[in-house]
A = this chain, B = another copy of it.
């Protein structure tokens, strides 16, 4: 009934060649005569052959798998990054086995075990739960993206520059006082750099500024509440002064802008707002929000490129175990919209 799977043996029999020749047809076609190639090509169609890469893996060790662990896909940042990573298939040919972590550390270890069992050649980690030191202990090329990366290769946005850019956008709009809110980040988090970028730039330009450090919460309701409180504070603290607000991301910026609207029925001259990420919410907002965009495609491509290099080095036996870590940094891109108009 169900014809058994067609293998090289079948093709060999059918064409009169040996298995080896069939194998070579796929791997080094030029080592066959054009005529014989045609003969085999015909046989493939005739027998309806489908290649089996699993067998190839067992024979030559190369899976062309890269594992990916993301924290979740509900945040646009992660899903667009994943999209960009998947798109590198056309350039590098790697196939991606994807897991979504959801902050469960033990579960993520289980994911890693599965990935290793399938002989992945490299791993991209975007989730934050497993320390980079532990990641580094696995004997496999790893790149982390926008997370603690003390012991791993990484690709990150130049967050410091992002902070600088955000501050400069506000500066161009000529505010009286400059304000940044953020949750109290660990200094090992790449995004910590934004805070430094902000305060350094303010200092450099001699701008009156203030940093509000407070937990902003994780659920949308919590975020709304904390931003609301922040808004009330700022609004009463600096009346009739033009306030330049640098929010930690676009979602917060949007909530803030909504509060402005509710109170003032328009986007008031007294405020300028800059977000971060250039996510859809920043341009879906009633007044499109100025923001700092990350170069997602570039980050993704760099991550896979680093892995690809290391994978090739391993294959060639050139793996300088002690060559030091790669920490690639990608500049962000300012996106000026309506919330930072000159006065």
B interface footprint on A243-278 (CB within 8 Å = 1, 0 otherwise): 000000001001100100110011000000000000
Question: Is the CB–CB distance between A97 and B99 below 8 Å?
Answer: no
Does A107 touch B at the CB level, under 8 Å? yes
Report chain B residues within 8 Å CB of A63: 54
Question: How many residues does chain A have at the interface if contact means C-beta atoms less than 8 Å apart?
Answer: 50
Question: Is the CB–CB distance between B76 and A72 below 8 Å?
Answer: no
Q: Which of A111-119, A149-157, A206-214 contacts B (4 or more CB under 8 A)?
A: A111-119
Instruction: Identify which of B55, B83, B102, B283 contacts A74 (C-beta below 8 A).
Output: B83
- A265 to B283 CA separation, bound complex (whole angstroms): 19
Q: Which of A10-18, A87-95, A186-194, A304-312 contacts B (4 or more CB under 8 A)?
A: A87-95
- A86 to B100 CA separation, bound complex (whole angstroms): 6
Question: Is the CB–CB distance between B281 and A280 below 8 Å?
Answer: yes
The 6 A-B residue pairs whose C-beta atoms are closest, nearest first, are: A79-B79, A73-B83, A53-B117, A86-B100, A73-B79, A98-B98
- What are 11 contact pairs spanning A and B, CB under 8 A? A52-B117, A53-B119, A54-B54, A58-B58, A73-B82, A73-B83, A82-B98, A83-B100, A251-B284, A254-B284, A261-B286
Report chain B residues within 8 Å CB of A238: none
Report chain B residues within 8 Å CB of A220: 283
Does A80 touch B at the CB level, under 8 Å? yes
Report chain B residues within 8 Å CB of A72: 83
Task: For A2, give the chain B residue with the smallest CB separation.
Answer: B139
Given A118-B95, A254-B284: A58 touches B50 (CB 8 Å cut-off): no
